[in-house]
C-alpha cells in the first residue's frame, strides 16, 4: 500500500517561516539600538550586537554572569 500526501503547503509554510526568521535575525543583529529579549521571568533569551557594544560585555557573559547595563557586572 502506498500512501501519498501532498506536503507542498507545509513545505511552503516552513520556507516562509525560515525567511521570516532570517529577516527578524537580520533586523535584530543590524539594529543600531541595543535589543534584549527576555522571557516573562526576566531571563535573557537573546542579545544583539549593539547591546554588546553598548554594555561592553561579551554576549557569552549575558548567559553566565547576569550582566546588565546598570549593574555592569
- Give contact residues for other proteins (rule: CB under 8 A): 33-45, 51, 54, 56, 62-64, 66, 68-73
Give me the least distance between CB of 29 and other proteins, in Å please: 14
Nearer to other proteins, 6 or 40 (CB): 40
In the complex, the smallest distance separating the C-beta of residue 8 from other proteins, rounded to whole angstroms, is 28
**Cα→Cα distances 65→6, 18, 24, 38, Å:** 48, 31, 26, 15
Query: Nearer Cβ to other proteins, position 5 or 71?
Result: 71
Q: Residue 51's closest CA among 59, 43, 39, 40?
A: 59
Other beta carbons less than 10 A from residue 73's beta carbon: 9
State in angstroms the smallest separation of the CB of 27 from other proteins: 12
Amino acid at each position: 500500500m502506498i500512501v501519498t500526501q501532498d506536503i507542498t503547503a507545509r513545505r511552503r509554510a516552513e520556507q516562509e517561516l525560515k525567511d521570516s526568521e532570517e529577516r527578524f535575525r537580520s533586523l535584530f543583529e543590524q539594529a543600531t539600538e541595543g535589543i534584549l529579549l527576555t522571557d516573562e521571568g526576566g531571563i535573557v533569551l537573546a542579545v544583539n550586537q549593539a547591546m554588546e557594544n553598548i554594555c561592553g560585555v561579551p554576549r557569552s557573559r549575558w548567559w553566565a554572569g547576569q550582566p546588565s547595563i546598570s549593574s555592569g557586572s
